[in-house]
Amino acid sequence: MTTTLSPASAPGDAALADHGRDYEALAERLDRRGKSAEDVVERVRRFEVALPSWAFGTGGTRFGRFPGPGEPRTLDEKLEDAATVHRLTGGAPRVSLHIPWDDPKDPAALRERATSLGLGFDAVNSNTFQDQPGQPLSYKLGSFSHPSAAVRKQAVEHHLHVVEVGKSLGAEAITVWLADGSNYPGQMSLRKSFERVRDCLHEVYAAMPQDWCLFTEHKPYEPSFYATVVQDWGSSLLLAQSLGDRAQCLVDLGHHLPNTNIEMIVARLAGVGKLGGFHFNDSKYGDDDLTAGSIKPYGLFLVFHELVLAERDRLPGFSPAYMIDQSHNIKDPVEDLLQTVDQLQLACAKAWLVDHEALAGYQEEGDVVMAERTLKEAFETDARPIVAEARRRAGAALDPLAAFRASGYRAQKARERVGGVVETRGL
């Protein structure tokens, strides 16, 4: 059942007129700074991020989950929610599936359905961090790093299945995050476990289509609390370099110990042509999977600043896959994703507002204060009229959250999505 957003969600003339004035005023101010608002609007229009199939339902923690009304029960209903996020933001035309949580019964039908909703599929995600019902061998003590060749073989076969699903949906990449690790010193061989992971990844890499990419995703801890095999960007880079050109590193913003300089990791990986993509979110302590830009908006801006520098410098092999990875524990999942896409569009706009020539000059001259001020000037610019204008030109909403609330979409879904079997899963 396709839901059209009610006319109430369309911006009123007053809102449009206010926006027009705000945009003109900002454009005039930027023009005095030698910046073209029009250029940045185009940059925001080109920015696209993929939505995580596992985050359209309410997420939870080991302490509890508080599901809300009208949550999707099927992959089809998740696509409906994804289409709503894309329609209102103009910037989320793809979905990233997690297998087996969202293993489609009929991939061809799903692909057709997605196309009819204006959606495509981004990198597919494997899952060897849980045992599935009827699974012969357990991943309790690891998957690719497991001492048992039979367990490793089972895990490789799962990845080959994920690649097949992705191929049937038109995806062109697989993201491999492994929970593999240990909780106690001595439990696991720190070198052999890494070598086993590398060798299993080589099997997946060799089996995937020639035009595909493999993204390795590092994480310092959880669910392992002493050692995680792919613990940091260095381990991820070693694997990607060992595999080949079509293997790159995925940076999940939440997978770094407190106070890690993530933008520098981004600069390092981009500098060696190994920045494959992102899982955008935000965090205060651990892998909190909070709304991107909600805790460290300046940090998010500094990551986008490195992305803009890499694009301006035309770094070889630079075309990262932008994806979201969040767990919506207390907010409406669609509202959380609308906020997230908005924050990413905003960080993108602000990063393109940096006076790059001036910044390079101050860096060369060693003028620390003016260099910092040049960055802050862009970050402290209220670029929301630029983002709203980019959305207006894409036929999306000036204010996606307000439009979503005015549409009554969630209330309608709460009426429609009653009972029935819940076929899909998530965090």
Enumerate residues 125-154 that contact ligand LRH by CB under 6 A.
125
| Interface with ligand LRH in residues 52-81 (CB under 6 A) | 54
Kindly state whether residue 279 participates in binding Mn ion, applying the rule CB under 5 A: yes
User: Which lies closer to ligand LRH via its Cβ, residue 219 or residue 392?
Assistant: 219
Q: Does 325 bind ligand LRH (CB under 6 A)?
A: yes
Q: Which is nearer to ligand LRH, 165 or 427 (by Cβ)?
A: 427
How far apart CA 404 and CA 400 sit, in angstroms, is 6
Which of Mn ion, ligand LRH, none sits in contact with 77, Cβ below 5 to 8 A by type? none
- Residue closer to Mn ion, measured from CB, 324 or 348: 324
> What is the total count of residues that contact ligand LRH (CB under 6 A)?
10
Considering the complex, state which of residue 237 and residue 250 has its C-beta at the smaller distance from ligand LRH: 250
Minimum CB–partner distance for residue 88 and Mn ion (Å): 24
Q: Are 137 and 150 in contact (CB under 8 A)?
A: yes
Q: Does 262 bind ligand LRH (CB under 6 A)?
A: no
Under rule CB under 6 A, residue 217 binds ligand LRH: yes
DSSP 213: E
Omega cis (within 30) before 223: yes
Query: Could you write out the three-class secondary structure of 89-107?
Result: HCCCCEEECECCCCCCCCH
Site for ligand LRH in 293-322 (CB under 6 A): none
Distance, CA of 65 to CA of 80 (rounded, Å):
23
CB of 366 to Mn ion, least distance (A): 38
Maximum C-alpha span of the chain? 67
Could you give the count of Cα atoms lying within 13 Å of 360 in the half-sphere of its Cβ?
Answer: 6
For residue 325, state whether it binds Mn ion (rule: CB under 5 A): yes
289 part of the interface to Mn ion, by CB under 5 A: no
- Give one DSSP letter per residue of 305-342, joined into a string: HHHHHHHHTT-TT--PEEEE----SSS-HHHHHHHHHH
Task: State yes or no: residue 252 binds ligand LRH (CB under 6 A).
Answer: yes
**Amino acid symbol at 341:** V
Nearer to Mn ion, 205 or 278 (CB): 278
- H helices of 90-229, where? 107-116, 149-169, 190-207
Is residue 177 near ligand LRH by the rule CB under 6 A? yes
- 329 or 381: CB nearest ligand LRH: 329
Asked whether position 287 contacts ligand LRH by CB under 6 A, the answer is yes
Q: Of 17-25, 65-73, 227-235, 317-325, which segment contacts Mn ion by CB under 5 A?
A: 317-325
Q: Which residues contact 244 (CB under 8 A, 6 or more apart)?
A: 205
Instruction: Calculate the CA 332 to chain-centre distance.
Output: 18
Please tell me whether residue 71 binds Mn ion under the rule CB under 5 A: no
Look up tokens 């080991």; give the residue. 62
Contact (Cβ atoms closer than 8 angstroms) between residue 316 and residue 362: no
Distance in Å, CB of 218 to ligand LRH, minimum: 10
Binding site for ligand LRH (CB under 6 A): 54, 125, 177, 217, 219, 252, 279, 287, 325, 427
Binding site for Mn ion (CB under 5 A): 252, 279, 325
